[in-house]
Structure 1
Amino acid sequence: MLSYQHIYHAGNLADVQKHALLCVMLDYMTRKDKPLSYIETHAGRGLYDLTAPEAVKTGEAAQGVARAGDWFAPDHPYARAMAQVKAAHGVDAYPGSPLLAALSLRPGDTIHLAELHPQEFTALRQAMRPYGAQVHKQDGLELAQSICPPTPRRGLMLIDPSYEVKSDYATLPGQIAALHRKWNVGVIALWYPILTSGAHKPMLRALEQQGLPDTLRHEVTFPPAREGHGMIGSGMFIVNAPWGTQDEAKRLGTLFAAL
């Protein structure tokens, strides 16, 4: 359960989809002059070096963000945050979702990040120290259930497990329904992999039976990053999807379909 490290996959095509949608949602939500809470249940280390041996070994970034660099105009929220990270940390730096969120939010907003892996937690705490994030070495879903509804009440939660624990597929629909009951105004975004095994399909059926409001399901497919790799796509299931998210999802879908 504590073996997963996202450095092997940072900047892949799944990150491009997830991070572009995250930045668009937060950009829209921060236009209103009211504070936000951002909660992330599986935060990783927050900042990645794409020249690290782990990233080079899988080649996923080379097949991902390196190919999608021209998909985003300079004023796109994702491109703006990426430019800030590269200016501060070098051209080979890639931001995880905690750092993208921090760069999208404002001084009065609140950030809660959970990460259990000891090395990832240490790196996350260091990367996020300048942003005043509350970093928790705790099971992310336990944290989410304990602080919902958060203060401020407006906000967004990203649930982004590694799915190494196969029971996640069965338990997440009930967890998300419970979170929504506690926090009916919250945007809850779940990322999931699309695998050749189809392991995600029963989870999606269960989610769609929960009666959740204003849901957006967005999936993209792409070639395997290497021979034998089981992930052939990426999905986001979003509760209370903010205005404009559907338009960005449609745009991304067209771009991914052309790969």
Structure 2
Amino acid sequence: MLSYQHLYHAGNAADVHKHAALAVALDYLTVKPKPLTYIETHAGRGLYDLAAPEALKTGEAAQGIALLKAAFPPDHPYRRALAAMPGTQYPGSPAIAQHLLRESDKIHLAELHPQEFQALRTNLRDPRVSVYKQDGLALAQSLCPPDPRRGLMLVDPSYEVKSEYDQLPKWLGGITRKWNVGVVMIWYPILSSASHAPMLKALKSGHPDALTHEVRFPPARAGHRMLGSGLFIVNPPFAMQAALKTLSRVFNAP
């Protein structure tokens, strides 16, 4: 949806879940000296100012990164990416990838929203980065299998319309047939309506060996429908299972 702007939600609890898991996966993949490809289907602007009026209006960062940051050890790759940001800047997933990946790696980012696309191009000026004003799912299909073939794809739509839930299982089947070695990480919100449940069932049916991880947290404000955050990970890196258990403890800490 072209109405969605993530600045209102940047740094919320779902971002912490998604971005911490992404940082662990990229950190693990870069241990080997072989180059890799990072693809993101819904990139947003890549970098967010948590002091901006839009971010302050919702208060979601105050209920997310502000509360949870201290639960991560200083050497956690997510904390390292946060520490690299100046002032009140919060790294979206493109900026986390930019920080953790190496000169030999390639980054492909799709964003359709005109303002977000322009901000993304400004925020991530980097010879490794290619930015596309294009539907992210279509771009991913056109890029796969990527070169380099090793790599990770992050898929995190806004889910503002029901069709985004409906199309992902079939789309993922096409991606994994073309790119059977790629790590594909799909994020989904856990809402009071449980809108994600049919999609997750279909994803599991098509990819029974994938890893599912969910965390729960209180609504950011009265009437807020998001109760948690989920990840569905195809070809999870070896370190992922243990890292996600640690991440569960971050959200379950008193």
Shorter-normalised TM range: over 0.9
Q: Aligned partner of 1:109: which letter?
A: D
The question of whether the paired residues in 2 share the 8 Å contact of 1:38 and 1:156 is answered with yes
Q: Aligned partner of 2:51: which letter?
A: T
SS, match of residue 130 in structure 1: coil
Q: Give the one of 93, 99, 107 matched to 1:97.
A: 93
Q: What is the distance in 2 between the residues matched to 1:211 and 1:31? A: 26
Q: What is the distance in 2 between the residues matched to 1:14 and 1:217? A: 15
The question of whether the paired residues in 1 share the 8 Å contact of 2:36 and 2:150 is answered with yes
Q: What is the distance in 1 between the residues matched to 2:110 and 2:50? A: 23
1:3 aligns with 2:3: yes
Alignment of 1:56-75 (within 5 A): 56-75=56-75
1:220 aligns with 2:220: no
The question of whether the paired residues in 1 share the 8 Å contact of 2:188 and 2:230 is answered with yes
The question of whether the paired residues in 2 share the 8 Å contact of 1:46 and 1:98 is answered with yes
> Paired residue for 2:130?
134
Q: How many residues align?
A: 254
Kindly state the Cα deviation for residue 96 of structure 1 after the two structures are TM-superposed: 0.3
Seen in structure 2, the aligned counterparts of structure 1 residues 157 and 212 have a Cα distance that, compared at 3 Å, is: farther
Q: Aligned partner of 1:145: which letter?
A: Q
Q: Give the one of 167, 172, 182 matched to 1:176.
A: 172
Kindly state the Cα deviation for residue 75 of structure 1 after the two structures are TM-superposed: 1.1
Q: Aligned partner of 2:96: which letter?
A: L
1:208 aligns with 2:204: yes
> Paired residue for 1:161?
157
Q: What is the distance in 1 between the residues matched to 2:61 and 2:170? A: 33
SS, match of residue 203 in structure 1: helix
The question of whether the paired residues in 1 share the 8 Å contact of 2:191 and 2:228 is answered with yes
Seen in structure 2, the aligned counterparts of structure 1 residues 31 and 21 have a Cα distance that, compared at 3 Å, is: same
> Paired residue for 1:108?
104
Cα-Cα RMSD: 1.0
Q: What is the distance in 2 between the residues matched to 1:101 and 1:51? A: 23
Q: Aligned partner of 1:138: which letter?
A: Q
Kindly state the Cα deviation for residue 244 of structure 1 after the two structures are TM-superposed: 1.2
Q: Give the one of 239, 246, 254 matched to 1:244.
A: 239
> Paired residue for 1:32?
32
SS, match of residue 106 in structure 1: coil
Percent identity of paired positions between Structure 1 and Structure 2? 64
The question of whether the paired residues in 1 share the 8 Å contact of 2:25 and 2:237 is answered with yes
Q: What is the distance in 1 between the residues matched to 2:69 and 2:180? A: 36
1:233 aligns with 2:214: no
Gapped runs of 5+ residues in structure 1?
none
> Paired residue for 2:20?
20
String of CA shifts for 1:228-250, please: whole Å, max 9, x gaps.
Answer: 00000000000000011111111
The question of whether the paired residues in 1 share the 8 Å contact of 2:212 and 2:230 is answered with yes
Structure 1 residue runs of 4 or more that deviate by more than 6 Å after TM superposition: none
SS, match of residue 212 in structure 2: strand
Q: What is the distance in 1 between the residues matched to 2:206 and 2:139? A: 22
SS, match of residue 179 in structure 1: helix
The question of whether the paired residues in 2 share the 8 Å contact of 1:212 and 1:239 is answered with no
Seen in structure 2, the aligned counterparts of structure 1 residues 111 and 9 have a Cα distance that, compared at 3 Å, is: same
Q: Aligned partner of 1:256: which letter?
A: F
Gapped runs of 5+ residues in structure 2?
none
String of CA shifts for 1:17-43, please: whole Å, max 9, x gaps.
Answer: 100000000000000010000000000
Kindly state the Cα deviation for residue 258 of structure 1 after the two structures are TM-superposed: 3.0
